[in-house]
Each structure stands twice: as structure tokens, then as C-alpha cells.
Amino acid sequence: MSREINTVGVVGLGTMGAGIVEVFARSGIDVVAVEITDAALERGQATMVGSIDRAVAKGKLTAAERDEIFARIGFAVGLAALHDVDLVIEAVPEQLALKQAIFAELDRVCKPDAILATNTSSLSVTEISVATTRPNAVIGVHFFNPAPVMKLVEIVRTVVTAPDVVADVEALCARLGKVDVTINDRAGFIANALLFGYLNQAVSMLEAHYATREDIDAAMRLGCGLPMGPLALMDLIGIDTAYEILDTMYRRGGRDRRHAPVPLIKQMVTAGLLGRKTGRGFYTYEGPGSPKVVPDELTAPPAAEALEDGRAIETIGVVGSGVMAPGIIEVVARAGFDVVSVTRGAEKSAVVAGAVEASLAKAVARGKLSEADQAAALARITWSSRLDDLDDVDLVIESVVEEISVKKAVFAALDEICKPGVVLATTTSSLPVIEIAMATQRPADVIGLHLFNPAPVMKLVEIVRTIRTSPETTAAAAALVEALGKTGVHCADRSGFIVNALLFPYLNDAVRMLEASYATADDIDHAMKLGCGYPMGPFELLDTVGLDVALAIQRELYLELREPGFAPAPLLEHLVTAGYVGRKAGRGFRDHT
């Protein structure tokens, strides 16, 4: 028979606990919220008041509803207040000994049939459960941050959790309007197991001065459509909590080096830079608990108004006729530059011109472009099939096939043809820019401009400097990106740049998780979309990008960094071998026919 859950206890009113109390109270369930000291209780109350008041201010709650919500919450110091609740959710810091002590105490205090749940992100629910005399009533109920917003709850059953306890918690999640996935007890469950390797890697990029915090975050927001960048997310999670989760995942999850916390994280914890909750983490906030970022000593000064490098850019050459070239030509022409498009023949030029015309016509039909601007953009484009016609352009963007020998040949020819001082840019997404640069006699003028597909839509451009690129070239490229209306992020010339280096290992990890039969593709996709706010789940994205493309990028990353955890998942290789490469083949992880 299922239990009636009328009153819920929440232990610990920190980042997660305060949000969890709010979730229950807003669903009409009575809550007893407990903390360890009066001061912590006050802090937790203040967090809740702030959050609920913001909902009132935004018109999402009325003042009367606000009062009803607070009337449902009882606050207390100490666990004794939980003697009569039907279910407890523990949300204290991520330390096994602390959680075990609390569960032993809850076992003494709570009613015999109360369910005892932990919100742990990475610790073993089984190990926590054995601190009680009722391990079959212990379960993991893992909410996502911020709890009132994120729809997902991971329900973690151990080998001894009673089926009726699982069923009661599943029913409770439905009452809260949450979507649950029920899974076994494994380090990081679904979402964190896929998230934390990525977060740690992003910190290591920052630590290595590979890119700035702003650029790493902007790259993942604009390149992948994520709601926040990884470093801003670390600040939201709490740097101490993130440290504990990584540390546990490293120890429990097979000692994958990618989970060994990057030294910078430990230093930040020691220095008290715990993220939003202390007002300072990777970023500086207006005050403790505030979501508002304020400038600090690491904030870059605003970009210089005009570029003083003497490289006025008026005419841009675009070489190539594949997927990317038409979009790039369109972007450049619409931004007011003259364009010389070079393909390998008149037929190819006609195809590219057709694609540009069709895309511009679509923009006009959607009311995003006037007919006059459409005509002006088209009039700025010259179609050619001779590289020699680039002898007078001010900058070249190469976007030919992703093969090093072909790109090197194009750059060697450009070196012969182009005026001195012209910026030569490659849109490669995976080849070393320096190797392309060294095909010329002017490597200081060569740079990577990694645009995303479709170029007219995607706002991000990765500006990739090699060890030979001059500061003037980088400045000219950055100015161009701005003139194109895009957001440029700077990074060094390493495999995958920022976005692909952070994205593809995560996708590969998702394949490994599926391969291990820990969860279904649907549950994994759900977890990332509803728990982390990703626009697509990893398997949806892999089928869209193409499994062959993903495998090629993952192989590159593995070869360059020699990180065992980056080795392509065997299942990914098998699917590619079988020709199941995603949407374009009608079948990948899912059937698209």
C-alpha cells in the first residue's frame, strides 16, 4: 500500500536545500526545514525569501500565494523537529561521514515508516543507507540546481531499496510536476557523470591560460546553446560542492583522471572563493548569493574603438564551395564587405551562388532583410574560379575540404598571389592551424577563424592564434568578427579549440554510458535536457552532427592529448562501421526513416 506523503523534512538549507523546500511548499506540501545553527537557518530563510520574492516580482506568484507558501514551512534547528514527517530529504555538504551521521540520527528520530532520502550528487546511496537500521527505506532523490526551475529528478535505488519506496517517491515527483528517471546507484548517476568531466576540463583550460573565463563560457553558450558556460555553472553549483563531487567521482568512478579535481579548484576552496554563495568564484558577484556579475581585476577592458593596425579591410576573398562557404559569403556580403568567391569551376560557383541567393531570399521572406539590402549584398559578390583573382583582396577566408594536404596547397598558392600584409584565415575545425600557416612564407599573418554551421545563424567565431600569429593579425581578425556581428572568442591552436574539445568528450562519455547499459538513450537525453537545460540530449545531437564526424573529432582529441578517457567509445566506432552515422543515413542511435 502506498504511503501518504503530507509532510516533508529538508535537512540543510544551502544552495540545494533552500530550493527543495521551495519546490515542496509551492506544490502545496507542508515542509519542516532544519539547519545546524540559528545563523545557518537565517541564511537559508533569507535565500528562500529572496527567491520567492523574485517570483512575485516577476508576476509568477501572487502576494497571497507567497503567504500561503510560507505558512506551509516550519523552520527549526536540529533534526528532532523531523519526528513526524513522512519523508526527509537530506541536502547537507557532500561528505560521506557527515551524511552517515545524519542518517543514523534520522533513523532514531523519524517515524518507522518514514522514507529517508539523500540529495547526494556523487556519494554511494548504499553506503549512506547502511548507517541506518532501515536501508530499504533509503533512496537517492537528486534534484538539479536551481531546484525550482529544473524539471529533472534522478531517483536512485540501491540493491536494497524497497520497490514501494521507489514507487512512492516516483508518485511524489509527479505531484511536484517533475520528470524522474529511476536508476541504480553509480557515481554521478546520469547527469553529473556526464557533466563533471566537462566542467573539470573547462577549469583546466582556464588554468592553462588557453582562453579567458569569459571566452570559455561564451563559447559553450553560443556554440552549443547551453544556458550557462561551464565556469558560471561551477559558481552556481558551489566550488566546494563541485570539488567534493569530482573527488568522489574520481575515487568511485574508476579513477578517471578527467575527474581528478584540477588544482585550481582546491586552491579556490582554500581561499574561500566558493562561487555565488560567497560572492566570488570564477567571477565576482554583487554580493554573497547574488546572481549579478560585477567587473573585477580580471575583466578585460572594453575593446579599443578603432583598430590602429593599418589593415583596413574592404574586400574579402572566400575560398571553397562546401557546406560552410555559402553561409560565410552571405555573412560577409551582408556586413557590407565586397566578396570575391573562388571555387574550383563555374559549375561549383553556380551552386554556391544559388545557395547564397536562396538563403538571402529566405531572409527577405521572413522580414529579416529588405529587398534593397538583398540586392546590395548580391551586388557585392564577384564569382570566380581562379585563385589569382584574390591578388587584391584585404583578407582571405579559406573554407575548403577538411584535409591538411588540400589546405596546405591552397595556402601555398595564396602566399604567391596575395598582397603582403593580408590576413589569411582558415575555417578548419580540427586541423592544426600552425601546420597550414607553415605552408606559407608568412605564418605571422595566418590565423584560424572557426565559424559554426549555419554561419548566418550561429553567433560564435573561435579566433585561433598559433604560436606564430602576430598580435596585429589577431587584432585584425577580432575586428572583422565584430564587424560581421559575431562574438569572437580567442583561443590557442589546440585540437578541438574550445567548443569541440569540451563537447565531444562529453558526447563520447554518453555513448559509453549507453554501452554499459546504465541508462537508455531516452533517459540520458532527458537527463541532460531537463537536468542541465541543454537544448538537445547527447544522442539527439550525435545523430544530428553525424556519428562519423563525432568519431573523427574524438580520434583527433585522443591522438593529440593521449588522455585514455578520450578514447572513442567502441559503440561509436561500431555504429560508424555499420554505416549508422545519424540522420543523414536515416539511422544512428535512433531510426530516422
Ligand X SMILES: NC(=O)c1ccc[n+]([C@@H]2O[C@H](COP(=O)([O-])OP(=O)(O)OC[C@H]3O[C@@H](n4cnc5c(N)ncnc54)[C@H](O)[C@@H]3O)[C@@H](O)[C@H]2O)c1
Q: Rounded distance, CA 35 to CA 119, Å?
A: 15
Does position 93 interact with ligand X (CB under 6 A)? The reply is: yes
Q: How far is the CB of 241 from ligand X (least distance, A)?
A: 4
Which of 187, 436 has the CB closer to ligand X? 187
| 119 flagged as catalytic | no
Q: Does 36 bind ligand X (CB under 6 A)?
A: yes
Pairing relationship of beta strands 460-465 and 446-451 according to DSSP bridges: antiparallel
Site string for ligand X, 39-58 (x = CB under 6 A): -x---x--------------
What distance lies between CA 425 and its chain's CA centroid? 27
Complex with ligand X: residue 237 or 498, whichever CB lies closer: 237
In the 3-class helix/strand/coil scheme, how is 492-538 assigned residue by residue? ECCCCCCHHHHHHHHHHHHHHHHHCCCCCHHHHHHHHHHHHCCCCCH
Applying CB under 6 A, which of residues 8, 9, 17, 460 lies at the interface with ligand X? 17
CB nearer ligand X, residue 120 or residue 341: 120
- 345 CB-contact burial (10 Å; exposed 0-12 / middle 13-18 / buried 19+): exposed
Nearer to ligand X, 94 or 540 (CB): 94
Task: Tell me which stretch binds ligand X (CB under 6 A): 143-151, 162-170, 304-312, 533-541.
Answer: 143-151
Grid cell listed for 332: 560577409
Q: Which residues pair with 80 in a beta bridge?
A: none
Sheet containing 395-398: give its strands across: 381-384, 338-342, 315-319, 395-398, 423-426, 446-451, 460-465, 487-492
**Range in contact with ligand X (rule: CB under 6 A) among 91-99, 182-190, 265-273, 546-554:** 91-99
Q: Which of 35, 51, 90, 121 is catalytic?
A: 121
Place of cell 588540400: 406
Amino acid at 202: A
From the candidates 154, 214, 244, 540, which is the catalytic residue?
154
Specify the stretch interacting with ligand X by CB under 6 A; choose among 24-32, 34-42, 358-366, 458-466.
34-42
The C-alpha cell at 411 is 595556402
What are the φ/ψ torsions at residue 226 (nearest 5 degrees)?
-75, 150
CB of 66 to ligand X, least distance (A): 22
**At 95, phi and psi to the nearest 5?**
-130, 130
> Which of 48, 85, 92, 353: binder of ligand X (CB under 6 A)?
92
- Near ligand X by CB under 6 A, which window of 31-39, 372-380, 483-491, 566-574? 31-39
Residue 477: strand, helix, or coil: helix
Closer residue to ligand X in complex, CB, 181/501 = 181
User: Residue from 14, 148, 448, 496 that binds ligand X (CB under 6 A)?
Assistant: 14
Q: What residues have CB less than 8 Å from 209, skipping those under 6 apart? A: none
Q: For cell 511548499, name the residue.
A: 25
Q: In the set 7, 9, 10, 12, which binds ligand X (CB under 6 A)? A: 12
Single out the catalytic residue among 192, 341, 359, 508.
192
13 binds ligand X (CB under 6 A): yes
C-alpha span between 393 and 332 (Å, rounded):
13
Report CA dihedral (301, 306, 312, 313) to the nearest 10 degrees.
60
CA 13, distance to chain mean position in Å, is 27
121 belongs to the catalytic site: yes
Complex with ligand X: residue 16 or 524, whichever CB lies closer: 16
Residue 538 makes contact with ligand X by CB under 6 A: no
Q: Quick one: 10 or 363, whose CB is closer to ligand X?
A: 10
What x/- string results for residues 259 through 278 when contact with ligand X is judged by CB under 6 A? ------------------x-
In the complex with ligand X, the residue whose CB is nearer, 141 or 390, is 141
Q: Name the segment binding ligand X (CB under 6 A); options: 8-16, 401-409, 413-421, 511-519.
A: 8-16
Q: Are 420 and 310 in contact (CB under 8 A)?
A: no
| 570 makes contact with ligand X (CB under 6 A) | no
List residues with catalytic annotation: 121, 142, 154, 192
Query: Applying CB under 6 A, which residues contact ligand X?
Result: 11-17, 34-36, 40, 44, 91-94, 102, 119-121, 142-145, 237-238, 241, 245, 277
